Amino acid sequence: MEFECIEDVTVNGDAVEWNGIADNGTQRAFRIGLPMPNTWRLQMGATDGTFDYEGAAQLAGGGSAEEPDVRSSDLALTEESEGSVRISGEDIAMSVRLYGPPMRIEFLDVDNEVVTAIDSIQLEEAGLRIGGTLTSHERLYGTGERFDAVERRGSSVQVWAEDRWCETEGNSYLPVPFMLSSGGYGIFVNRFEGMTLDLGVEDPARWSVSELDAPLDLYVIVDEAPRSVLESLTTLTGRSPTPPDWAFGMLVSRHGRTKEFSTPEGVRAMAARMAELDLPWSGVIIEGWPTYDTGTYDDLKELVDELHQAGKKVLVYDACGRVRGPLISELPEAESYCVSRADGTVDLEEAAAYNPADAPNRRSSRFLDITNPEAVRWWTEQVWGRLLDDVGVDGAKIDFCEQFPEHHDLELAGRTPRGMHHYYPVRYNTMMYNLFQKRRPDGGVCWSRGGGIGAARYPWVWCGDQRREFRFLRAILRAALSLGLSGVPFMGHDLGGYIPADNPDENPEPEVFARGCQLACFGPVMSTHGTVTRPYDFEPEIVDLYRTYSKVHYTLIPYLTEQFRAGAARGVPLMRHMLLHRPDDEVAQEIEDQYFLGEDLLVAPVLDRTERRDVYLPKGRWQDVFDGTWHHGPVQIAGYPAPLERVPVFVRERSQSPALPRCLEAVRLQIEKYR
């Protein structure tokens, strides 16, 4: 049934409310408010007329001391011709025009021009459907982590976190129901439940949200500047705190299946080899160590103390909220702190996954009830208190964040199971990140694979599992840029992929690894992982290249931390799609294989088996960091030199960063031999 008519339009405090009447006579209450000067919130009431004010953004920030002061402006109504009503706020130039019948909600900018419109709200058997119009020239971005493309116009997107393991099409460990339009607006669905976004597939001139089994709670952000749209989005969903400086360095990890870091001897062997070859690193992720086996804690503490004395950090491995193994056998109270089904069962079948290696069949696991204060106290003070206070670990790699089930008969202490598939990892990771900051003197790291709305609060994710192939380097970059355009500013990846290539002849491992090093070097963090060849096991010339780019990355850390702090304060990512710098440049809008690193560096990574690539430089003067040549933009340069040891990186004239000039002096010393 579709809502057609409107009745009883009134101002009720800080919102305008009306009755919507569907084509079958059903009535529902609607309301629209203005929580920020450029942001409207549209809601539909339940059958009893009540509104659910606790959407995903509100739940993600629950209990946060940094919760933004978002208050709705007073609104006024003005009757207009053709059966329309103008809704405006005090001292706000933008407005909304409400029509009915048929029901239509137009969002107008400061020039009184319609930016976008919602003209269809339906209740279907599969859930809520809401839709609106697209102009012919709009490009759409966002929707969270996406591996297949950054620009989403003409695609259908499933908002559902899933581990589909080395898939690029339709895969996302961290979906966000948000679309950013080049037409001067953004649309954010404020719910954790799954849904489908149609961005011009069924009808090229329309977008829609469908299969949403949840109340309507939708924000429309109207602003011609994409950065301002992201600023408003992250005001709602949360902004990223800055990780400790050491977290921007090199983290060394190996897949737990290799057992390389399951003993102190294995970790020490890695440290000795890195020192022998002069390879810099900041910390180790000891995946494969039995994290919750207290019988190993004496050895673990000795290892942690030893690495701390050497200036290194130690992260352990955690599967998001799972209560397994020794925790069950050693602590009989564990079962009472777990999520259960209505019949008392605590062994829950996990969400379906497409992971033939780790989960060929659906598993059953026990999950900590993060809505139970007593369970949280037990977990943070007893279980993790010992790891953080007694052993002294510096954080955790938190995996499998897309596996929490969403059965309707789940029993939780503090809320219904609605939306828990995405809510669970966001709240768990936020809880763990905050715990690490409180308990570790140099700050801790929550290195997580996924989540949903509010993931910036952790603040650190990695993009999951890829093969060591060129096409996955491109997928990694797309994922980082997509996340950055969805309000999540800090993403890392496994250097060049974490499992071997299917077709090594087309993807020579040394070359893919070298290009993966360069991509990570000019990003927030470098990290090794997987079952692939270790960095120090390649031929000397590749080890030398790895050493060089590792050291280049370390010389850039003052710039990276400076730019991260400045950007995160306004919701702007560190790795940025060119749209955020040149929103009026149509060429920049469509480029997906270049990016800005902070305000002043433009990076054109090599993502194919080639030693040349096309480069686009926008308006301004740009200097090649490697060879010092100057270029005037806007210009497209075909076949720009990019031999294996070099990657095209440019610094803009008159850079704004206080830290960058000194950083670049150090970078040029490192790369002198490659000029």
Residue spans of beta strands (DSSP E) within 500-628:
526-528, 575-576, 595-597, 601-603, 612-624
In the beta sheet, which residues pair with residue 220? Answer: 40, 187
Residues 332-339 have a mean pLDDT of: 89
Tell me, what's the pLDDT at 66?
Answer: 46
Tell me, what's the pLDDT at 93?
Answer: 82
Rounded Cα distance, 10 and 360, in Å: 56
Is the predicted pLDDT of residue 68 greater than 80, yes or no? no
The 10s digit of each residue's pLDDT in 444-493 is 999 999 999 999 999 889 999 999 999 999 999 999 999 999 999 999 99
3-state helix, strand, coil in the chain (%, to 5): 30, 30, 45
- The DSSP-derived string for 642-666 is --TT---EEEESS---SSHHHHHHH
**Ranges for all domains in the chain classified under CATH 2.60.40.1760:** 3-237
Tell me, what's the pLDDT at 165?
Answer: 87
C-alpha angle 15-17-18 in degrees, rounded to nearest 5: 165
Structure tokens belonging to residue 61: 């920030």
H helix or E strand, kind and range, residue 512: helix 509-521
Residue 665: CB partners within 8 Å, gap ≥ 6? none
Tell me, what's the pLDDT at 65?
Answer: 42
The 10s digit of each residue's pLDDT in 280-330 is 999 999 999 999 999 999 999 999 999 999 999 999 999 999 998 788 887
Q: Please name the residue ranges forming H helices in 522-568.
A: 540-568
Residues 410-429 have a mean pLDDT of: 95
Rounded Cα distance, 390 and 297, in Å: 9
Residues 609-621 have a mean pLDDT of: 97
Is the predicted pLDDT of residue 64 greater than 60, yes or no? no
Q: At what angle do helices 509-521 and 470-484 cross, to 10 degrees?
A: 20
Are the beta carbons of 314 and 393 closer than 8 angstroms?
Answer: yes
Tell me, what's the pLDDT at 70?
Answer: 67
Residue spans of beta strands (DSSP E) within 145-200:
155-159, 175-181, 185-189, 195-199
Structure tokens belonging to residue 526: 């470098």
Residue 149: CB partners within 8 Å, gap ≥ 6? 155, 478, 592
**Ranges for all domains in the chain classified under CATH 2.60.40.1180:** 576-674
* Residue 116: C-alpha distances to residues 104, 119, 134, 198, 643 (Å): 11, 10, 7, 16, 46
- The DSSP-derived string for 30-87 is EEEEEEETTEEEEEE--TTS------HHHHHTTT-TT-----PPPEEEEE-STT-EEE
Q: Which among 655, 663, 649 has a CA at the least distance from the CA of 553?
A: 663
Q: Is 375 exposed, middle or buried (0-12, 13-18, 19+ CB in 10 A)?
A: buried
What's the DSSP call for residue 250? E
Residue 608 φ/ψ, nearest 5 degrees? -135, 170
Tell me, what's the pLDDT at 412?
Answer: 95
SS3 255: coil
The 10s digit of each residue's pLDDT in 69-109 is 566 778 999 988 777 999 998 778 899 999 989 999 999 99
Rounded Cα distance, 624 and 618, in Å: 14
SS3 530: coil
What's the DSSP call for residue 1? -
Rounded Cα distance, 184 and 14, in Å: 25
The 10s digit of each residue's pLDDT in 193-238 is 999 999 999 999 999 999 999 999 999 999 999 999 999 999 999 9
The 10s digit of each residue's pLDDT in 235-270 is 999 999 999 999 999 999 999 999 999 999 999 999
Q: Please name the residue ranges forming H helices in 140-245.
A: 226-237
pTM here is 0.96
**Angular region, 414: left φ>0, alpha ψ -120 to 50, beta rest:** alpha
Q: Which CATH class is domain 576-674?
A: mainly beta
Percent of the chain with pLDDT strictly greater than 90: 86
Domain 3-237 has CATH 2.60.40.1760: yes
Compute the mean pLDDT over every residue in the chain, rounded to the nearest whole number.
Answer: 94
**Angular region, 542: left φ>0, alpha ψ -120 to 50, beta rest:** alpha
- The DSSP-derived string for 401-459 is TT-----TTEE-SSS-STTHHHHHHHHHHHHHHHHHHHH-TT--EEEES---TTGGGS-
Are the beta carbons of 244 and 442 closer than 8 angstroms?
Answer: yes
Q: Which among 485, 455, 488 has a CA at the least distance from the CA of 226?
A: 485
Residue 344: CB partners within 8 Å, gap ≥ 6? none
Are the beta carbons of 477 and 470 closer than 8 angstroms?
Answer: no
The 10s digit of each residue's pLDDT in 123-152 is 999 999 999 999 999 999 999 999 999 999
